[in-house]
Amino acid sequence: MVRLPASFLFEVLTSNSDRQMEFWILLIALEFFLAGFMVWIAWPTIFGAPWIPTPKDKARSMLELAEVGHQDTVYDIGSGDGRIIIMAASEFGAKSFGIEMDPLRVMWSRLAIRRHGLSQLVEVLRENFFKSNIENATVVTVYQGVGVNKKLREKFSKELKPGTRVVSYRFRFQGWTPVKTNEEASSFLYVI
Ligand SMILES: C[S@@+](CC[C@H](N)C(=O)[O-])C[C@H]1O[C@@H](n2cnc3c(N)ncnc32)[C@H](O)[C@@H]1O
């Protein structure tokens, strides 16, 4: 039988102490579960930008700016729902990897990759991008903030091969001069 929450609460709180104890244990367990779930979801934003997807036309402009082709290996740093890596493979023929910490986005993008039949070309790694091995990249796409870009600049300088193209959406890399800019698409291309 479905009971109204208020009458259920009243019954529990006026019943014997065993039921009251069960109720409080259940309530505390639920609070811990909810707090854990919130931390799990918010975790990536401690390390980088929150999930704000790049509009698809802008994502296409980024890949065009870097002249991505089938010979390329594209890494999207914080790949969100996987739209850039899926586009790099489906429209530009490139092999692509996404690095993403948010477990829900990772799950979502893996399903999307399967739905597009791109499992041979596209992979999502559930990792902190600051710790990922990205040395195989020939193109790197980034949509983070100024502070994160500053830290990424050090990583890219150390780990990426000379000639690797880096395209950043909306935020520049301070101290680097873009070799090409698409003002309309707010995209900046750098070459290591
Ligand atoms: C602004 S969104 C960009 C998403 C995607 N690249 C796009 O253009 O649509 C930034 C993404 O980076 C992820 N992220 C932030 N810090 C991260 C880290 N240290 N390691 C992996 N992913 C991270 C977030 O979860 C979020 O999905």
**What percent of the chain stands above pLDDT 70?**
92
100 lines ligand 1 (CB under 6 A): yes
82 lines ligand 1 (CB under 6 A): no
The residue among 37 and 68 whose pLDDT is bigger is 68
User: What is the atom index within ligand 1 of the atom nearest the CA of 78?
Assistant: 12
pLDDT band at 70 (very low <50, low <70, confident <90, very high): very high
51 lines ligand 1 (CB under 6 A): yes
Distance (Å, whole) CA 190 – CA 102? 27
98 lines ligand 1 (CB under 6 A): no
Q: What values do phi and psi take at 180, rounded to 5?
A: -150, 150
- Cα 145 to ligand 1 centre (Å): 10
Two tokens, residue 19: 């039921």
- Domain parsing of the chain, residue ranges: 5-44, 56-191
- Assigned CATH for 56-191: 3.40.50.150
Residue pair 88/79 in contact (Cβ under 8 Å)? The answer is no
Q: Which amino acid belongs to residue 183?
A: E
Cα within 13 Å of Cα(171), Cβ side:
16
- Please report the pLDDT score of residue 76 as a whole number: 98
- Cα 67 to ligand 1 centre (Å): 23
Q: Which amino acid belongs to residue 166?
A: V
Mean per-residue pLDDT, 101-112: 95
Q: Whose CA is nearest to atom 4 of ligand 1?
A: 80
The four Cα atoms 15, 21, 26, 31 give a dihedral, to 10 degrees, of 110
- Please report the pLDDT score of residue 13 as a whole number: 67
- Cα 40 to ligand 1 centre (Å): 15
Mean per-residue pLDDT, 44-67: 90
- Please report the pLDDT score of residue 35 as a whole number: 85
User: What is the atom index within ligand 1 of the atom nearest the CA of 128?
Assistant: 20
Q: Whose CA is nearest to atom 8 of ligand 1?
A: 54
Smallest CA-to-CA distance from 75 within 92, 60, 94, 93 is with: 94
Angstrom distances, CA of residue 102 to CA of 21, 123, 180: 36, 15, 31
CB atoms within 10 A of CB 179: 12
Smallest CA-to-CA distance from 102 within 40, 152, 34, 36 is with: 40
Q: Which helix (H) or strand (E) holds 189?
A: strand 187-191
CA end-to-end span of the chain: 67
Angstrom distances, CA of residue 153 to CA of 45, 95, 137, 166: 19, 23, 15, 10
110 lines ligand 1 (CB under 6 A): no
Task: Choose which residue among 41, 46, 47, 51 to substitute to test ligand 1 binding: the one with the highest number of ligand atoms within 8 A of its C-beta.
Answer: 51
